[in-house]
Amino acid sequence: MQNFDLYNPTNVVFGKGEVPRIGELTASYGRRVLLVYGLGSVKKTGLYDKVTGSLREAGVEWVDSGGVKPNPVLSFAREAIGTFKQEKLDAIVAVGGGSVIDTAKTVAAGSRYDGDVWDFFTGKAGIEDASPVTVVLTLAAAASEMNGGAVITNEDTLQKTHIVSRHLFPKASILDPVNTFTVPRNYSMYGAVDAIIHVLEPYFNSSDPDTPLQDRFIEGLIKTIMESADIIYRQPNNYNARANMMWGATMALNGIASSGAGCTGFPMHMIEHSLSAIYDIAHGAGLAVVAPAWMKYNAPEEPRKYAQFAERVFDIGGGTPEERALEGIAALERWFSSVDAPVTLEDAGIPAEDINKIAKNANSLSELWGLPDYTVDVIADILRLAV
Per residue in 347-370, pLDDT tens?
A: 999 999 999 999 999 999 898 899
Indicate whether 133 and 22 sit together in one domain.
yes
Taking the CA atoms of 69, 140, 158 and 116 in sequence, report the sign of the dihedral they define. Answer: positive
The CA–CA distances, whole Å, from 221 to 64, 88, 198, 270, 333 equal 36, 42, 11, 22, 18
Indicate whether 209 and 306 sit together in one domain.
yes
The CA–CA distances, whole Å, from 267 to 46, 144, 368 equal 39, 19, 12
In the predicted model, residues of the chain with pLDDT beneath 70 are none
Domain that holds residue 136: 11-179
- 325: which residues sit within 8 A by CB, 6+ positions away? 299, 300, 303, 306, 307, 309, 310
Residue 337 lies in a domain: yes
Residue 270 lies in a domain: yes
Residue 136 lies in a domain: yes
149-154 vs 133-137, strand pairing mode: unpaired
Residue 3 lies in a domain: no
Give the angle subtended at the CA of 161 by the CAs of 332 and 244, to the nearest 5°. Answer: 40
- 114: which residues sit within 8 A by CB, 6+ positions away? none
Residue 256 lies in a domain: yes
pLDDT for residue 367: 82
Domain boundary among 156, 179, 202: 179
Indicate whether 295 and 346 sit together in one domain.
yes
Indicate whether 37 and 170 sit together in one domain.
yes
- H helices present in the chain, as ranges: 22-27, 41-44, 47-57, 74-86, 98-110, 118-122, 185-205, 212-234, 239-252, 267-279, 283-298, 303-314, 321-338, 355-366, 376-384
149-154 vs 159-164, strand pairing mode: antiparallel
What's 77's domain CATH number?
3.40.50.1970
Residue 5 lies in a domain: no
Indicate whether 232 and 354 sit together in one domain.
yes
* pTM of the complete model: 0.95
H/E stretch holding 66: strand 61-66
As a whole number of angstroms, the distance between CA 179 and CA 92 comes to 20
232: region left, alpha or beta (phi > 0 left; psi from -120 to 50 alpha)? alpha
As a whole number of angstroms, the distance between CA 255 and CA 344 comes to 30
Domain boundary among 151, 179, 207: 179
Total Cβ atoms within 10 A of residue 181: 16
Indicate whether 113 and 191 sit together in one domain.
no
Domain boundary among 179, 209, 224: 179
Q: Mapping DSSP to helix (H, G, I), strand (E, B) and coil, where does residue 263 land?
A: coil
As a whole number of angstroms, the distance between CA 294 and CA 298 comes to 6
Residue 1 lies in a domain: no
Indicate whether 26 and 168 sit together in one domain.
yes
Indicate whether 16 and 162 sit together in one domain.
yes
Indicate whether 274 and 332 sit together in one domain.
yes
Residue 330 lies in a domain: yes
Closest to 250 (Cα-Cα) out of 341, 335, 169, 175: 175
Say how many domains are in the chain.
Answer: 2
Running DSSP on this structure, what letter comes out for residue 212?
H
Indicate whether 241 and 298 sit together in one domain.
yes
Burial of 4-18, coded b for 16+ CB within 10 Å and e otherwise, reads eeeeeebebbeeeeb
Indicate whether 74 and 156 sit together in one domain.
yes
As a whole number of angstroms, the distance between CA 22 and CA 26 comes to 6
Indicate whether 156 and 228 sit together in one domain.
no
